[in-house]
A = this chain, B = another copy of it.
Amino acid sequence: MSLSMFCKSIEVSLRTGPDIGDITPALKALIRESGIESGQLSAAMVGSTGSLTTIEYEPGVVDDLKRAINSLAPPGIDYAHEQAWHDGNGHSHVQAALLGPAIVLPIRNGSLKTGTWQQVVAINHDNRPRKRSIEVTITGTRS
């Protein structure tokens, strides 16, 4: 069985950061479209004020994660970034760099292999709503 690769981007509209959106359904749709049964999916946020991770997409713990993100790099303190740009999003850049822009996840039996309560989320850290673009690369074997 030779390997195949499938590349496509998805877009997600997010509110002022930290805002967290569930992209699992969009990723699962791309896996179906790719026809790949076994392999891996990598996804990467395009832009320096966004990140990707997994969490149980439940309103309480999503709020808990937002609070933890804002304590890693609080919006209200001074950032050297502001001296050059004055755009008020120094914390957004630092938060996104700490969480990281990309993720790689397994595909088994034609679907994303994650835990039952484990969703893939895109995070907008910017200080304004953003439509974020995520590049998805699926590699593996077809049946």
A113 contact from B5, B63, B119, B135, Cβ within 8 A? B135
The reply to whether B55 and A96 form a contact with Cβ atoms under 8 Å apart is yes
The verdict on A60 contacting B79 (CB below 8 Å), with A98-B68, A118-B101, A139-B5 known, is yes
Contact with B along A64-101 (1 / 0, CB 8 A): 11001100110000011111110000100110111111
The answer to whether B55 touches A48, judged by C-beta atoms less than 8 angstroms apart, is yes
**Measuring CB to CB, which residues of chain A are less than 8 angstroms from any residue of chain B?**
2-5, 7, 38-40, 42, 44, 46-48, 53-56, 58-61, 63-65, 68-69, 72-73, 79-85, 90, 93-94, 96-106, 108, 113-115, 117-119, 121, 135-137, 139-141
Q: In the complex, what residues of B have CB within 8 A of residue A119's CB? A: 48
Contact pick for A46, options B48, B99, B101, B118, CB 8 Å: B118
A93 to B4: give the CA distance in the assembly, Å: 34
Q: How far is the CB of A105 from chain B (nearest CB, A)?
A: 5
Name the B residues within 8 Å of A137 (CB-CB): 39-40, 106
**Is A103 a contact partner of B106 (Cβ separation < 8 A)?**
no
Residue of B nearest to A120 (CB): B101
Can you list 11 pairs linking A and B with CB atoms under 8 Å apart?
Answer: A44-B106, A46-B113, A48-B119, A53-B97, A61-B80, A61-B93, A64-B94, A65-B93, A68-B73, A103-B104, A139-B139
